[in-house]
Amino acid sequence: MFYGFVILITLLWYSFAEEATVVDDFFYDLENINPFLDRLITGTVLALLYFITETLLKGRTVGKFVTKTKVVLEDGTMPSVIDYLKRSFSRIIPFEAFSFLGNNGRGWHDSISNTFVVDVVRFEAKKKSQSELELIGKSQDDI
């Protein structure tokens, strides 16, 4: 989405520019940007895209649909927007990918945001059995 917007603005700018050298200079500067700044900008853009996707799809991304998983809080409720924001931007931390090598195999992005990735089928089955267990011993009037 962001890159599409940048491409659209660039094409409009290029079509209205009298000289193509202005656009060429822009792309030359973009190609020769500081590597740290490049990683920071790329990480921020990807974190925003991940955040927007995960928020709109209620804890799921394309990969989570394929693996039939979703993100929940420790109590099983849906995370808030702030939790998704923490989860998305904590991925920018250098060496975050190695955080899975710890004892519990839980990534820093999950630890920082206090979230868990769960299997949807098993999670819903356990949630259903928990609610049915709570109904035991209650009369029909209480339900």
**Cα four-point dihedral sign 23, 92, 47, 44:** negative
Do 70 and 117 contact (CB within 8 A), yes or no?
yes
39-80 per-position pLDDT tens digit: 888 888 888 998 999 889 988 988 899 999 999 999 989 999
Burial of 121 (0-12, 13-18, 19+ CB in 10 A): exposed
Report how far residue 104's alpha carbon sits from residue 73's, in angstroms, rounded to the nearest whole number: 16
Global pTM?
A: 0.67
pLDDT category at 2 given cuts 50, 70, 90 is low
96-131 per-position pLDDT tens digit: 778 777 777 788 888 889 999 999 999 999 999 888
What's the pLDDT at 120? 94
